[in-house]
Amino acid sequence: MTQTMRVALVGLGNVGRAFLELMTIKRRVLRERYGLELVLTGAADSSGAAFGAGHIDHANLLRHKRAGHGVGQYPRLGHRGMPAAEMVRQVEADVLLEASPVNLRTGQPGLDCVRIALQRGMSVVLANKGPLVVAYRELMDMAAPTLPSPVLTGNGGGWLKAGWGSQRLRFSATVCGALPVLNMGQRDLVACDIQRVEGILNSTTNYILSAMEAGHSFDQALREAQAEGVAEADPALDIQGWDAANKLVIIANAVLGVPATLKDVDVLGIQDITPDDLAAARARGQRVKLVAVAHRQNDTYRFSVHPAALPLDHPLASVSGWEMGIVWHTDIMGVQFARVDERGPIPTAAAMLRDLVNLYA
């Protein structure tokens, strides 16, 4: 027997379209391994929304988008100009998948979509960091299960609600795509005192630094990164360190139990790094990386995103090109390092699929 899960997708950029692709490629695996059948009942992009009687043929919607048409123009079910939030208010779906562009100031339009979905009792899977960075605590409180659960009766303040167990708001795709950074932090480093976290959390800047080391100019490297389809729509978010800072804020809230916001992160991007800086570091036996750090001091953490010259035997010095990586320094689980080599938007879409399956597993 197979369970049918109705999903609504907001945002049909690279990640959203990759998710539609996975719905086709992984259909059989989802049914055979997990007993799940995904059905797309709603979609929205900046042109409007599509939903209505029956479901949307996801392969057909993908062709429609690839042909350059907006969701609002989708035959029969399209509603031109309808805001995504309105679709979320009306659609019949079990899970909202939110993959619209990051907005660091307001979290919109994703934030309202998430609020409405949670209010309506839906589960939510996010690839978009904006709503979390702007309103982490509010969304976690909304997503907390209403049924009493053994662990949720604990007196742990933010910890338990930030947990993974019965949580219906999932966002493992927001930090390093397919690398399970948040899952490791929340579900695996249980009961640890995490003294320090160091990460290369943004692959665009890491690619640019590696390409500059190999002799490319900054602008040339940036264009290559944008062609790969993982750079943020606004390149300043990557280059100036804000994307890495967003991810650090999510780690702080979700793993370290600290209600940090972007204001708490000391941020410096790679915009002023020159090929000469990289060559000079190399001559000293070092490699320049954009490193996000959470360092515990007494009862709190200091957060920063800075270019840093790392010795070559530092784990993060081995994270090159499109790779990302993270180092956890713990008291009882040693030092753990995880690295991913992932290209394009498929791995991030795959992380959304992971969250979707894990909602019911």
Interaction between residue 343 and a copy of itself (CB under 8 A): yes
Within 8 A by CB and 6+ apart from 75, the residues are 64
Secondary structure letter of residue 202 according to DSSP? -
Closest to a copy of itself by CB, 87 or 179: 179
Pull the structure tokens for residue 211. Answer: 């390409």
d(CA 361, CA 330): 28
Q: Does 336 bind a copy of itself (CB under 8 A)?
A: yes
247 is known as an active-site residue = yes
Q: Which is nearer to a copy of itself, 50 or 178 (CB)?
A: 178
266 binds a copy of itself (CB under 8 A): no
104 is a site residue for a copy of itself (CB under 8 A): no
- Asked if 340 is part of the footprint of a copy of itself (rule: CB under 8 A), the reply reads yes
Nearest-approach distance from CB 144 to a copy of itself, in angstroms = 14
When asked if residue 156 is in the footprint of a copy of itself (CB under 8 A), the reply is yes
Q: Which is nearer to a copy of itself, 275 or 315 (CB)?
A: 315
Segment lying near a copy of itself (by CB under 8 A), choices 9-17, 161-169, 214-222, 276-284: 161-169
Any contact of residue 152 with a copy of itself (CB under 8 A)? yes
Nearest residue to 302 (alpha-carbon basis) of 267, 271, 269, 273: 267
DSSP assignment of 49-109, as one string?
Answer: EEEEEEEE-HHHHHHHHHTT--GGG-TTTEEET--HHHHHHH---SEEEE-PPP-TTT-TT
Q: Min. distance of Cβ 346 from a copy of itself in angstroms? A: 5
Q: Are 275 and 263 in contact (CB under 8 A)?
A: no
Q: Is 250 exposed, middle or buried (0-12, 13-18, 19+ CB in 10 A)?
A: buried
Q: Classify the phi-psi angles of 55: left when phi > 0, otherwise alpha if psi is within -120 to 50, otherwise beta.
A: beta
Using alpha carbons only, how large is the chain's radius of gyration in Å?
A: 20
Figure out which of the listed residues 155, 272, 297, 299 binds a copy of itself, where binding follows CB under 8 A: 155
358 binds a copy of itself (CB under 8 A): yes
In the complex, least distance from residue 337 CB atom to a copy of itself, rounded to whole angstroms: 5
Question: CA–CA separation, 73 vs 57, rounded Å?
Answer: 14
Nearer to a copy of itself by Cβ, of 236 and 312: the residue is 312
Phi-psi region of 177 (alpha: psi -120 to 50; beta: other; left: phi over 0): left
Which string of b and e fits 261-290 if b means at least 16 CB within 10 Å?
A: ebebbebbbbeebeeebbeebeeeebbbbb
Catalytic residue among 65, 129, 247, 289: 247
Q: Taking CB under 8 A as the rule, does residue 184 contact a copy of itself?
A: yes
Using rule CB under 8 A, residue 31 touches a copy of itself = yes
When binding is defined by CB under 8 A, the residue of 6, 13, 26, 195 that contacts a copy of itself is 26
Q: Confirm or reject binding of residue 212 to a copy of itself (CB under 8 A).
A: no
Catalytic positions? 247
Residues in touch with a copy of itself (CB under 8 A): 1-3, 22, 25-26, 29-36, 150-157, 159-160, 163-165, 172, 177-180, 183-184, 187-193, 257, 315, 318, 330, 332-343, 346-347, 350-351, 353-354, 357-358, 360-361
